Structure 1
Amino acid sequence: MTIKITKCSREDLQTLQKISIDTFHDTFKDQNTPENMEAYLAKAFHSEQLERELANPSSEIYFVYFNEELAGYLKVNINDAQSEKMGEEFLEIERIYIRSPFQNHGLGKHLLNKAIEIAMDQNKSKLWLGVWEKNRKAIAFYNKMGFIQTGAHSFYMGDEEQTDFIMSKTLV
């Protein structure tokens, strides 16, 4: 078993777009209407939006490979790229997604450790993320990894307002 994490660049745009759409759709399709899912995917993962994210010096995106096969990705933000103003000491984990066939192989933990490494390199003392209140599997994972719920914010899936728990972790 080999696990490799690589930083994304503009040349990875189409691959990033495909894995973003596939993993988000697979994760949330059963809990949302097709119309809201389609509206969100078209906006969040439009090629121009992903190009802006890749070009932002305060964001980084990484692919994770399992036995040479693309299995998932991570997106982290600092400073003004954060989706909420949390302060200079925070690094946001905006996305950790693993394709279904690769779940339960510890890849989420590898990506979380990568986020911690980036935070330490950037002199950040805290991590935060938003996770949908109905995503019990992810909430349990983040709790296990030392995150605690510290708040909540709205997340819009198409025209439906949903609640994301804000979870944070202080780095030692």
Structure 2
Amino acid sequence: MGGEPLIRRATPDDAGVLSPLAAQTFTETFGHLYPADDLQAFLAESYAIERQRVILQHPDYAVWLLEQDGEAIGHAAAGPCGLPHPDVAPGDGELKRLYVLQARQNGGWGGRLFATAQDWLLRDGPRTLWIGVWSQNLGAQRFYARHGFVHVGDYEFPVGRVRDHEFILRREAC
């Protein structure tokens, strides 16, 4: 852990790096909430290499990798808002993922990943931004509140048989 971490935009060639990183960070953060078979099925579908490659090739989405000494230790993803809220409008953006490996947290890099994704989402000017966050993830909720996001709705996020209670957060264009 010697060199300074770097953030770079991921390319389709990074699908093989992003897939296991996304599965690991999701499992570290939320794995305890689910039966093992539900978790494994979710990871196999949601973070499959080919699915990551499709996202990385899509012109409306962007993913960034946080790397240190050649190892991917975090990632963020952004794109058009897909959250189930009646006020979502065409052109609204969403921070879809923001994760740093647990062993590498508390160094300010989550905030830097967030800033990178936000800058990309706002590259064409102000627009409404959205985030979905687990209702019990109080640290993330405080982080997003500091950046002007407010709780405007709720939805269920399915992982197998489990339905997580998620908050929908929004920050109006300014």
TM-score (norm 2): 0.88
Which stretch shows the higher mean deviation, 9-18 or 114-123?
114-123
Contact 1:90-1:124 at 8 Å conserved across structures: no
Residues 112, 170 of structure 1: CA spacing in aligned structure 2 closer, same or farther, 3 A cutoff?
Answer: farther
Amino acid at match of 1:169: R
Residues 110, 50 of structure 1: CA spacing in aligned structure 2 closer, same or farther, 3 A cutoff?
Answer: same
Contact 2:83-2:168 at 8 Å conserved across structures: no
Equivalent position of 1:93 in the other structure: 95
Contact 2:13-2:53 at 8 Å conserved across structures: no
Residues 171, 105 of structure 1: CA spacing in aligned structure 2 closer, same or farther, 3 A cutoff?
Answer: farther
Amino acid at match of 1:83: G
Tell me the matched-pair count.
Answer: 169
Amino acid at match of 1:121: R
SS in 1 for 2:122: helix
Residues 163, 121 of structure 1: CA spacing in aligned structure 2 closer, same or farther, 3 A cutoff?
Answer: same
- How far did residue 70 of structure 1 move? 2.3
Aligned-partner Cα distance in 1 for 2:172–2:110: 18
Does residue 84 (structure 1) correspond to residue 83 (structure 2)? The answer is yes
Equivalent position of 1:127 in the other structure: 129
Aligned-partner Cα distance in 2 for 1:122–1:160: 38
SS in 2 for 1:73: strand
Contact 1:66-1:102 at 8 Å conserved across structures: no
- How far did residue 137 of structure 1 move? 2.1
- How far did residue 84 of structure 1 move? 2.7
Query: Which of these residues, 157, 160, 163, is aligned with residue 158 of structure 1?
Result: 160
Contact 2:79-2:95 at 8 Å conserved across structures: yes
Residues 145, 66 of structure 1: CA spacing in aligned structure 2 closer, same or farther, 3 A cutoff?
Answer: farther
- How far did residue 101 of structure 1 move? 1.2
Contact 2:15-2:50 at 8 Å conserved across structures: no
Aligned-partner Cα distance in 2 for 1:115–1:171: 15
Structure 2 spans left out of the alignment, 5+ residues: none
Structure 1 spans left out of the alignment, 5+ residues: none
Residues 169, 67 of structure 1: CA spacing in aligned structure 2 closer, same or farther, 3 A cutoff?
Answer: farther
Aligned-partner Cα distance in 2 for 1:124–1:40: 34
4+ residue runs of structure 1 moved beyond 6 angstroms?
Answer: none
Which stretch shows the higher mean deviation, 85-94 or 38-47?
85-94
Contact 2:91-2:127 at 8 Å conserved across structures: yes
Aligned-partner Cα distance in 2 for 1:108–1:49: 24
Aligned-partner Cα distance in 1 for 2:65–2:171: 23
Superposition RMSD on alpha carbons, in Å? 1.8
Per-residue deviation, residues 27-47 of structure 1 (Å, max 9, x unmatched): 111222212211211110112
Equivalent position of 1:51 in the other structure: 53
Which stretch shows the higher mean deviation, 66-75 or 33-42?
66-75
Aligned-partner Cα distance in 2 for 1:124–1:58: 16
Equivalent position of 1:6 in the other structure: 8
Identity across matched positions, percent: 24
